[in-house]
Amino acid sequence: MGTTAPPYSIPDVADADGPRSPPARELRVRRAGRRRQILAMIAGCYLTDAIILFIYAQAGTVPTTIAPSYAAIGVLTVALWTVLSESGFNDRFHDHYLVVPQSIVSMMMTVAFCYIAPEVSIVFLCTLYLVVGFSSLRATPRQTAICWTFLALGLAGLFLLTDKPLGMPTGSPLERLATLLVFVLTIAGCMFLGIFSSALRETLYQRGQKLKEAYRRIEELAELDELTGALNRRSIMHVLEEELARARQAGRPCSVVLIDLDWFKRINDEHGHPTGDDVLRTFAITMFANIRGSDRFGRYGGEEFLLVLPGAPQDPACRLAERLRQIIAELDWSAFSTGLQVTFSAGVATARGDETTESLLSRADRALYESKAQGRNRVTRA
């Protein structure tokens, strides 16, 4: 019982679609459609209440005019809200369901009928529970305080300023049937409220998880090179600075390998840029498959890559670089293009004391230049 007017306060979670929100016109049309459905539900609730009042009237508990009067006022109220909704009036407000005015109208109407038909006040008092329960789902703390204040004043006037005998009719079988319906429908409404609240929380949780995943993906894309999946230049430089700081604090070594794919421009010119992209991706995948989990690999720029080796002294770093060079040189690159061969040149440098990032990379770059000067496809230590 008592589902009069609560559905309008259902939170419209779908309105918060973030960056994928529909255009304003489409959003207004969608909102109007929802309001139309909700107002139809409210009208149905008024008519359901009126049927129960009609049963009480047949039992002789209330005058026969109560049920049609309640139904007429309820339907007229819904008609007013419908006219406002269809005219676009609701869309002027952030809360396009107009929770506060609709809640106050429903509450005052219900309290008024408690005064008019106190013999069946149980019908209207039960309705108040659900009106408040549903409206609180969407109302802000300020809106909730406003609604509660109006309801408290209305009930205070009913209980303290009148001597109406507020009743729960059970004198005849027909009255007992009507009262049973009041409680059964009120409990059903409360259960619906609980189910809806649970579904709403789950929806919000799922959306929160999707939002977190989207943010994580955005952060990941901001750190990674789109083509190779390696860290981009900004990220690998940040990693290098952090690893050098840790190495200084812990007194442990840290080495870098600056890598340049040999004759990469020639690969693009002779085999095409799509093949060049395939070479970069395959090179990166091969590197990831043959380095430690603690090693960090990033695209330094173009066909240059930087490998950061935390805790690695120079000799092990050189041996790793040489092993990687051999692996790359021995891959069957002809699968991408006939006659294609890929090698790289590298310069290895190990941090010295409080050496800066710029100094370390400068020494690795000079070693790389020396590898190129000596014929490429080789590793040179700084």
- For residue range 84-132, what is the model confidence (pLDDT) as tens digits? 999 989 888 888 888 889 989 999 999 999 999 999 999 999 888 888 8
3-state SS, residue 90: helix
Q: What is the reported pTM?
A: 0.54
**Mean pLDDT of the residues in the chain:** 88
Q: How far apart are CA 246 and CA 360, in angstroms?
A: 15
Residues 184-202 have a mean pLDDT of 82
> What tokens were used for 100?
């506060």
Mean pLDDT lowest for which of 179-193, 205-219, 227-241?
205-219
Look-up: residue for tokens 């809106």? 143
Residues 333-344 have a mean pLDDT of 92
- What is the pLDDT at residue 291? 95
- What is the pLDDT at residue 353? 83
- Strands 344-350 and 304-310 turn out to be unpaired
- What is the pLDDT at residue 323? 96
Q: Which residues pair with 307 in a beta bridge?
A: 257, 297
Residues 288-313 have a mean pLDDT of 94
> What tokens were used for 35?
């309001």
For residue 263, is pLDDT > 80?
yes
Torsion of CA 121, 127, 133, 139, to 10 degrees: -100
For residue 203, is pLDDT > 50?
yes
- What is the pLDDT at residue 114? 92
**Confidence category of residue 219, pLDDT binned at 50, 70, 90:** low
For the chain, give the number of residues. 382
Nearest to 348 by CA among 315, 326, 381: 381
Q: Show the domains of the chain with their CATH numbers.
A: 6-219 (no CATH), 233-381 (3.30.70.270)
CA atoms in the 13 A half-sphere facing the CB of 89: 9
Other Cβ atoms within 10 Å of 352 Cβ, number: 11
- What is the pLDDT at residue 6? 44
Residues 178-207 have a mean pLDDT of 84
For residue 157, is pLDDT > 80?
yes
> What tokens were used for 114?
């408690």
181 neighbors 55 (Cβ within 8 angstroms): yes
Mean pLDDT lowest for which of 69-83, 197-211, 276-290?
197-211
Q: pLDDT digit string (tens) for 16-56?
A: 444 444 457 888 888 888 888 888 888 888 898 999 999 99
Q: How far apart are CA 258 and CA 255, in angstroms?
A: 10
- What is the pLDDT at residue 134? 75
**Confidence category of residue 194, pLDDT binned at 50, 70, 90:** confident
Residues 187-194 have a mean pLDDT of 82
- What is the pLDDT at residue 354? 85
Contacts of 362 (CB under 8 A, 6+ apart): none
Q: How far apart are CA 166 and CA 366, in angstroms?
A: 95
- What is the pLDDT at residue 19? 42
